[in-house]
Each structure stands twice: as C-alpha cells, then as structure tokens.
Chains A and B, each alone.
Chain A
C-alpha cells in the first residue's frame, strides 16, 4: 500500500513545480485514494467507469491471488532464464516450462478452464539476446498432449508440431512426458510461442501461448518496457469470444491503469493471440507511436496511433506521453473494446 502511495505523492510534488496552476491541484488531489472508499489500495484507481461508462459491474474485480498472476505484474515480467557460458564462448540460456490445466478468472466472477504454461495466461515472456543458444525444457503436466512451437529459425525437429521430430522425443509431447527444444536466438525481434496440437483453435484459445523476445545484439535505447498479449476467451465454447483482454483479464488496465512517467520512452512488445475473430487492433488515445513490425528492424516504419494485427502478428511500439493524466488505449474494433479490451495509462510527472 505504501509502495503504491509514495510515487504518487512524489508525482504531486513534481507536478506542482512544473505546472503549478493547472495540474498541481489535480495531482495533489490524487495523492489520497481519490476514487472513493471502494479503493483500499491507492495503486488501484479505476477510471472511466460510472453510469454509462465502459466496464464490468462496478466494484468487482478478479481475484488475482487465486489466479496466481496479476496482469499488472505480467506487463513488466520478463523471464531471462538461467545462463552459462559454453566453452565456445557462446551464451547458453535455459528455461523449464510446465504445461498445467488450471481454472482462471477472466472477468470478475467468471471462471474459465484454461490450459497454461507455468500456471499463467499468457505464459512467461521468454527473453534473450540475439545469437545465444536457447534450451527450453517443456514438461507436460496437463491432462492432454501439447507442444511448444516457437516462431524463429530452427530445424524441423525443434518446431513443436505433431509428427515431426518424434524420433527424438519431440513432436507431440504426451501427458507426463517432457522434451527440450534447442535452437539459436535468431532473428532479433518480437516473437511468440504457442502450442501446436490439433485442434489448433482449442489449444490456442485455452491459453497456451506467450511472448518470445529476442533483443538485438546492441540492445535498444533505455525505456520503460512492457508486454501486451492481446487475447480473448470463449467462455461458453461457441467458437466466439465472450471476453476480450490484454494479458487475460478484461478491463484490467482500466481498474489498474498502467503507470508511466511523463516524457519517458515507453516500449510495448505487442502480440495478437486472439482466436476465432482474429483481426485485432491497437489504438492509443491522445498520442502517436513509432511502430516496428515484428521488431526485426531498428528503424520504425510508421508513426501512427492505430495498427491492425492478424493472429500471430506482432510488433514493437515506442511512445512518450507529453502530458500527465489518464489516457485510454483499446482495440479499434469497438466490439472488442466494449467486451473488455480497453485500458488506461496513468501518466505521472
């Protein structure tokens, strides 16, 4: 609670110095839990709701503790694995990832029988550096056969598809079995991984996917980095989604706006893993971003405020917020926005 309050008070100070007449009062008012008694934690400030506002029934949130993950934490949670240097001088980076069946709450009060990597949806954001050797030990603890299929360069036996590589224990990984995928980190960019067991739509929409980031050798400029996996849930199994979201929980970043610093470079690793109605989009309010499709180039190809992504399509967004305040972002497919894919940035000085 204190940790949440301190930067906010500090923000009030800074705002007062910078813009004493306009924004100071607003920021100072925000220092105590400003949005009513319902918010015990000042870090949780629901915005943009109220009568005729967007969102679920007011005053209800998802039990993140029971889920075992919080989308706010998933944003900036990068899993670098364990490294050691090989005799050749090359860095070996290793992970162990376990498939697990788990019921998760995707909207307040709504449970979904998910299939997860490491107990969360999206799975861990695997992050490495261009040129490294990667080993991902996949343990199938689920009641169904699964695979891990990475987007990137690798030999066919490491592709994580049924029927290929089974002679070395790959292909379809049966219940209780494991397999270690090994390949080089190449090419740099924003990639992804997902299960490739048929029927594919089921194995993807149930939650078996995650972001896979390969940093360029020289790195990227210092920034506040975050991962957004656009997804949805077909809770009634009618091949259409009832809940749309960024990082699983509908309207989460409306209930807990993403805190960023004014004028700081924000880098968003964005991927669309939406199943069924797969054309997704991203729109930032009151701002434009530089867009790097698939993140495979260090030069942006567009300055825009709206992009469209097919399933599996991804990229990197870079932007700065010039003004403090609350800025909406959402799918510019309005139906998705109305059904949960909508959030806010809270920009502080």
Chain B
C-alpha cells in the first residue's frame, strides 16, 4: 500500500517537472547539485569562512611515532602527524639529553610522515625515552622498551621470515589436513560434531583477530587515529565479509549449483581456507612486527606453540569435504591459501609495519571468518533442522577450548 501510494504521488510531480526540464539531459540533472555544492564550498573557502572566524586556542599538535628503526649508533623515527595542524619539530632529546638529529625541514604536515635520524650510541637491551620538542614548546614522547638492532631488509632476513611463515602457517595447516581420511570414514553425526568443532575454532579465531586488531590501532598503543583508528578493524571486517559474499554468489551463479543445504564441500573448504588465510596473514604480521622490534625471541617453543595451534586449522578446511572427492592438487592449493599468507604477513610486519594497514588486514581476517561460519552453519544442523543441538554445542565449545588451550602455549 505504502509503495503504491508513493508511486501515485510521484506521478503528477514527474508530469510537472517534464515541462520545466524537458531539454536538459539526464547527466546534467545529476551534475547540477554537485556543481552547486562545489560553487558554495569554493565561495565559502574563498571568503575565508565568513562569520566563523579562526579556530580558538593554540595549534593542536598531535604526532605519533609510527616506526622505530635502530641501527648501530643511530635511531630513526618515522613520525606521522595525527592532528589537524602542521607541526614543526624543533629539537630532539634522548633520555633527557638534547641531541643532534637530521630531518627534512622538521615540519610534518597533516597526515604526512617525516623521518628523523638521530645519531645516538644506544646500548642493546636498554630502554630509551625520546622526546620531540615542537616549535611551540610541546613535547611528543616515545619509548623504546628494549633497544635491539632492527633487522636489515636483506635477502637473508626475508628468507628467515619465509621460513618462519612456513613453520607456523603452511606446515601445520597441511598436517592438519591429513585428517581428511579420518573425516571421510566417520558417521554423519560425528561429522556434524567435527563441523561444529570447526565453527568453534573459527569463532575463536574471529574473536582473537578482532581483539588483536583493536590492540594494534588503539591510541594507547601509539597508533595514529586520523586514519580511523579502531574503526579500521570493523571496516576491514565488513569489506572482507562483503567481498567474500560477492565472490560466493558469483561462483554459485556461474556453476548454477544452488542447493538447499548450502554450498558444496569443495566450495566450503575453499571459503574456510580463504578465511583462515586472511587470519594467518594477521598472525604473520604480528610475528614479523614483534620480531622486528626485538619483542619476540624466535625460540623453538614459539614455533611449536604456533604449529599445534594452527594444525587444527587444517582440520577446519577438510571437515566440509568429507562427502566430496578432491584431487591432491586442490587440497595442496587449499593448504597454501590458508598457510602461505603467514609468510607474506611476516614480511610486511617486519619490513613495513603500519598499524593502520595492519588493523585493516587483521579486521579483514575476522570478517572473512564470520562469513565462513555463516556458510558452515547449515552443515551442523541435525535431522530436525536445529543448529544448536547438544552435539553441535559440544563441538563448538570443544573447538574454542582447543584454541584456548593451545593459545596458552604461545603466551609462555
């Protein structure tokens, strides 16, 4: 009724407007409001915002140290302007002592970044407190908790990060996929339990990724806020969710394989692999950036912890394929899709860590997983169509518990 009424109201209007705008092409009608707003903005700015005057008070100076690089006898800071006004850095002090430094002009304009190079005889393992003194006398403080030389971005370093990504990503995921023969033999109820377990694993990963992403970009972590801050995690999640949904519908349309019970096994496995891959990208980022600032020892324990933790991800990929025949090549591809992003993440994290980009990527991991969980849900329904029956709840809780317990290995 509503819709019809609206249409009815519209009809005479269209009739009226036709006579006035008969000769104007449609594209021009679309452009008129844009042109008007451009003229209005231009006039407003050209007249110096009449009636509003200047913003009261001194300039707001908000600088954030985005990246710290330590080289022998030298500290480099990449400083980003996170506030509304340009900031002029006049002097630099390390541990309450003024020091020489070099920078472009010292002026950091809005959203821009500037590199400050400070000759300083730092000592490995010690902590440093740096303050930048601006032209107005304001200070921006930055702490280096443990001074350790930043790895050079040479081939050996990239090799090391690749090895690390292999250890924590590709190998454990692939090993986990060896549960496939087991998955194929177990009865239907058992499979439902395993699918629920997968949902539990993924739910835990999504939650974990969200918290990790929020931690990386929150103001207290020293991340710039001008690019969106914690909102970036949710933007990333939303984009990944929508992108994945779009890709699915595209595939389904092409294959003309709409099913009442959800997507096919291979299709679901691919989705899980993509979701887990995005998650492992975030994991690699965290590992690489922690290693680069010396906050992570590449001990055997860390690798073992991650390996056990991530093996369960392999199970999550193969569980949906129980009733489907898949070539070995396809399985290996799924393994790489899920595991290899850890390598890429470690590279990015160690060589060019940027909290805003990291938050977006980690959020994307979480969003992708949410979409995957949604797609998996039909496969855990029992004969009565219930998703949350005792067996599935047991599976979900078990999945979360497995990751919680194996996660404890990592914090040690």
Q: Which residues of A pack against B, CB within 8 Å? A: 49, 51-58, 106-112, 233, 235-236, 238, 242, 250-251, 335, 338-340
Q: Closest B residue to A59 by CB, please name it.
A: B100
Q: Is there contact, CB below 8 Å, between B133 and A51? A: no
CB-CB under 8 A for A58 and B100, given A108-B91, A109-B106: yes
A107 engages B90 (CB within 8 Å)? yes
Give the docked Cα–Cα distance between A109 and B134 (Å).
8
A51 / chain B contacts, CB cutoff of 8 Å? 100, 119
Chain B residues with CB below 8 A from A57, complex form = 91-92, 99-101
A272 to B121: give the CA distance in the assembly, Å.
Answer: 33
Cβ of A53: which chain B residues have Cβ within 8 Å of it? Answer: 100
Task: Return chain B residues, CB-CB under 8 Å to A235.
Answer: 133, 136-139
A245 to chain B, nearest CB (A): 12
Q: Point out the residues of chain A lying under 8 angstroms from B120, CB to CB.
A: 52
Measured in the bound complex, the distance between the Cα atoms of B383 and A173 in whole Å is 91
- By a CB distance below 8 angstroms, the chain A residues around B119 are 51-52
Q: A-facing mask of B110-139, CB < 8 A → 1, else 0?
A: 000000000111000000000101111111
A238 CA / B140 CA spacing, docked (Å):
12
B139–A110 touching, CB < 8 Å: no
A242 touches B106 (CB 8 A): no
A-B contact list, 16 entries, CB within 8 Å: A51-B100, A52-B119, A54-B98, A55-B98, A57-B100, A107-B98, A107-B133, A110-B90, A110-B133, A110-B136, A110-B137, A233-B137, A242-B133, A242-B137, A250-B98, A335-B97
What is the bound-complex CA distance between A58 and B133, given in angstroms? 15
Nearest CB in chain A: distance from B297 CB, A: 30
Q: CB-CB < 8 A to A108: which residues of B? A: 90-91
Q: With both chains docked as a complex, state the minimum distance between the C-beta of A244 and any C-beta of chain B, in angstroms.
A: 10
Cα–Cα distance between A64 and B88 once the two chains are bound (Å): 20
Interface pair A56/B98, CB less than 8 Å apart:
yes
Q: Is the C-beta of B93 less than 8 angstroms from some C-beta in chain A?
A: yes
A interface footprint on B65-100 (CB within 8 Å = 1, 0 otherwise): 000000000000000000000001011110011111
In contact, B98 and A112 (Cβ under 8 angstroms):
no
The answer to whether B133 and A111 touch across the interface, beta carbons within 8 angstroms, is: no
Q: Are B121 and A52 in contact (CB under 8 A)?
A: yes
A339 touches B98 (CB 8 A): yes
Q: Which residue of A lies closest to B95 (CB)?
A: A338
B91 touches A110 (CB 8 A): yes
A111 contacts B136, CB within 8 Å?
A: yes
State which size class the interface on B falls in. 20 to 34
Residues of B within 8 A of A236 (CB): 137-139
**Do A339 and B93 contact each other (CB < 8 Å), given the known contacts A55-B100, A56-B98, A57-B101?**
yes
Bound CA–CA A250/B97 (angstroms): 12
Q: Is the CB of B137 within 8 A of A338?
A: no
Q: With A57-B100, A110-B91, A235-B137 given, name 8 new contacts (CB 8 A).
A: A52-B119, A52-B120, A110-B136, A111-B135, A235-B136, A242-B137, A242-B139, A339-B93
Docked CA distance A174–B331 (Å): 85
The interface residues of chain A lying within 8 Å CB-to-CB of B101 are 57
The contact string, 1 if C-beta is below 8 Å from chain A, for chain B 34-77, is: 00000000000000000000000000000000000000000000
| Nearest Cβ on chain A to B114's Cβ, whole angstroms | 14
Nearest A-chain residue to B103, judged by Cβ? A57
Decide: A109 near B90, CB < 8 A? Known: A51-B119, A233-B137, A236-B138: yes
From B90, B98, B100, B133, give the contact of A338 (CB < 8 A): B98
Instruction: With a 10 A CB-CB cut-off, give which of A58, A235, A251 has the most chain B CB atoms.
Output: A235
Min CB distance, B240 to chain A, in Å?
42
Residues of A within 8 Å of B96, CB to CB, are: 335, 338-339
> In the complex, what residues of B have CB within 8 A of residue A340's CB?
98
Q: Which residue of B lies closest to A51 (CB)?
A: B119
Once the chains are docked, how many angstroms separate the CA of A109 from the CA of B139? Answer: 13
Which residues of B have CB within 8 Å of A109? 88, 90-91, 106, 135
Q: Taking each of B91, B92, B106, B139, which has the highest tally of chain A beta carbons within 10 Å of its own beta carbon? A: B91
* Contact partners of B131 in chain A: CB under 8 A: 242
Give A233 to B133 CA distance when docked, in angstroms: 12
Contact B137 A56 (CB under 8 A): no
Give the one of A49, A51, A53, A250 with max B CB within 10 A: A51
CA distance A192 to B319 in the complex (A): 85
> Complex: how many Å from CA A102 to CA B244?
62
Contacting pair A110 B135 (CB below 8 A)? yes
Q: How far is the CA of A238 from the CA of B137 in the complex (A)?
A: 11
Q: In whole Å, how far is B104's beta carbon from the nearest beta carbon of chain A?
A: 13
Give the residues in chain B near A49, CB-CB below 8 Å. Answer: 100
By Cβ-Cβ distance, the 3 closest A-B pairs, closest first, are A235-B137, A109-B90, A338-B97
Could you tell me the distance between the alpha carbons of A339 and B99 in the complex, rounded to whole angstroms? 9
Q: Which residues of A contact B91 (CB under 8 A)?
A: 56-57, 107-110
CB distance from A13 to the nearest CB of B (A): 35
A171 to B365, CA, bound (A): 69
User: In the bound complex, how far is the Cα of B98 from the Cα of A110, in angstroms?
Assistant: 13
Closest Cβ of chain B to A202, distance in Å, is 15
Cβ of B93: which chain A residues have Cβ within 8 Å of it? 338-339
Output the least CB separation between B237 and chain A (Å).
Answer: 38
Q: In the complex, which residue of chain B has the Cβ closest to the Cβ of A50?
A: B100
Docked pose: A51 CA to B139 CA in angstroms: 23
The CA of A29 and the CA of B32, in the complex, are separated in Å by 76
For A56, what are the chain B residues with a Cβ–Cβ distance below 8 Å? Answer: 91, 98, 100
Residues on the A chain within 8 Å of B100, using CB:
49, 51, 53, 55-58
Which residues from A are CB-within-8-Å of B138?
Answer: 235-236
Bound-state CA distance A57–B90 (Å) is 8
Task: Return A210 CB to nearest CB of chain B, in Å.
Answer: 22
| Interchain nearest-CB distance for B90 vs A (Å) | 3
